[in-house]
Amino acid sequence: MLKRLRNYSVLICIVYTLLTVLSSSLSLIQGNEYDSHLHLISRFIITTIGVGSIWLYDFLR
């Protein structure tokens, strides 16, 4: 159980990092030179909810 939790935590980190790099790159291409902290926090929450739903599905299965 602890190993599965660790794997999902790593998945959250990987997905969040990829989304942040992609979003930051697109913002720079569009000419925006900053990214608000609220946007970063909301992206983390959405990523956590998505990975949490995968975990819940596996747990209930």
- The pLDDT value given to residue 49: 92
Determine the structural domain holding residue 51 and report its residue range: 2-60
Question: Which pairs from 42-51 meet CB under 8 Å and 24+ separation?
Answer: 43/16, 43/19, 44/16, 47/12, 47/15, 47/16, 47/19, 48/12, 50/15, 51/8, 51/11, 51/12, 51/15
How many structural domains compose the chain?
1
Q: What is the full per-residue pLDDT of the chain (61 aa) written as tens digits?
A: 788 888 889 999 999 999 888 888 888 888 887 766 777 778 888 889 999 898 899 888 8
